[in-house]
Amino acid sequence: MSQMETSINECFKALTAPRIIGRSQHYLSDILTIVLCAVVSGAEGFNNIKMLARCKESFFRAFLKLPNGIPSHDTINRVMSMLSPDDFSKCFTEWVKSLSKRLPGIIAIDGKTLRGSFHDA
């Protein structure tokens, strides 16, 4: 199945991980999409990210390539640790801004609104 262009792909396309060509079994865009969806859904830690991805594998297969299935928690950890935090932050900010243009209201990425720490600002 061909990969659908998503806002994650678009906003994170400038992000690169120093991986060895020919030895990478998973696409960076697949890993980033899984990580972002899992963390926004409340996953904490790489084991939880992998477990959520396995539980929702049919969902992810609808728009990701996943040529070698869901990456292991070790692979997710290794890839994420290779990324530049500053570059990731810039891409993440661009992605959230792209979402805010499409969705009305507040986007609570960190869950503070759910915990009641948001006031009427």
- HEC string for 8-53: HHHHHCCCCCCCCCCCCCCCHHHHHHHHHHHHHCCCCCHHHHHHHH
Residue 16 has pLDDT above 90, yes or no: no
How many CA atoms lie within 13 Å of 25's alpha carbon, on the beta-carbon side? 9
pLDDT tens-digit series, residues 102-119:
777 766 665 544 445 545
Residue 55 has pLDDT above 70, yes or no: yes
pLDDT tens-digit series, residues 79-104:
999 999 999 999 998 888 888 777 77
pTM over 0.85: no
**How many other CB atoms are found less than 10 A from the CB of residue 20?**
6
3-state secondary structure (DSSP) of residue 58: helix
Percent of the chain with pLDDT over 90: 57
